[in-house]
Amino acid sequence: MTNYFQMKATNNVAQIDIFGEIVGEKWFDEETSATSFRDALKELGDVSTINLSINSGGGSVFDGIAIYNMLKSHKATVNVYVEGLAASIASVIAMAGDTITMRSGSMLMIHRPFTVLQGNAEEMRKAAETLEKMGDNIVNIYSDRTGIQTEEIQQIMSAETWLSAEEAVEQGWATKLDKKEAVMNSVPKEILGLFSNVPKNVLARVEKKTLSQDRLDLIEREKQTLKLLKDEIGE
């Protein structure tokens, strides 16, 4: 069975794996919530180094921000390894690293945050305003880590940009490239279906995984509601 989220510590060095979706409330084994991350981090005890491996399509913005802040405030040196894909809010979590290593063939994806909801036009306009504020906060995190001007990052996010390992290092999103080949398993194609510009080579490499019908139904509802929101705000 795949261990999507786990933490373990040996001789003051902790290994953390985030290989699934970031969520507000954990219901499935493949998910990571801020609460589960916090509890596991406490159980590690006093460690001096955290090695964080990421292969995730993203998920909940606020839970991802909380995980980012927990890592940033931790006294340990944090080394991030993008094992396959750090997309959406998972790319924000990656920015918490003192070092950020891209495996050969791995990718970062940066985009504007989106949400799913049901409601009238006024409620959707309010949601759009909230999304803009969330996006501004993420822009600041990216800018602080990369040194790229906020205006340029806003353009990068609006375009839903997929960065190769080499591009991520060259442009300052990561610190080094590791020739160890990336593996994009544990990222279901259904999750990537929420994004607009997924490269074909990424789809060809992610896990062909059968999700539960409940998860598939939820993802389909999210896609339909997201389309309604984009239509309402004119995107």
**Number of continuous H segments (helices) and E segments (strands) in the chain:** 9, 10
Eight-class DSSP state of 20 = S
The string of DSSP codes covering 157-196 is: HHTTEEEEHHHHHHTTS-SEEEEEEP--TT-BHHHHTTSS
The pLDDT score that the predictor gives to residue 118 is 64
Query: Is 143 part of the annotated catalytic residue set?
Result: no
One pLDDT digit (tens) per residue for the chain, 235 residues: 345 567 788 889 999 999 888 888 776 666 788 998 999 898 888 899 999 999 998 888 999 999 999 999 999 999 999 998 999 999 999 999 999 999 988 999 999 876 656 667 777 677 677 778 888 999 999 999 999 999 999 999 999 999 999 999 999 999 999 987 665 555 665 566 667 677 776 766 665 555 555 555 555 555 555 555 555 545 5
In sequence order, what E strands does the chain have?
5-10, 13-18, 21-23, 31-33, 49-56, 77-87, 99-104, 107-110, 161-164, 176-181
Sequence-separated (6 or more) residues with CB below 8 Å from residue 218: none
Q: Which of 56, 60, 111, 186 is catalytic?
A: 111
Query: Is 88 part of the annotated catalytic residue set?
Result: yes
Copy the structure tokens of residue 183. Answer: 């593996």
Copy the structure tokens of residue 171. Answer: 């442009």
Cα separation, 192 vs 207, whole angstroms: 11
Task: State the CB neighbour count (10 A cutoff) for residue 110.
Answer: 23
Element (H, E) at 200: helix 200-205
Element (H, E) at 41: helix 34-44
Q: Which of 53, 56, 88, 106 is catalytic?
A: 88
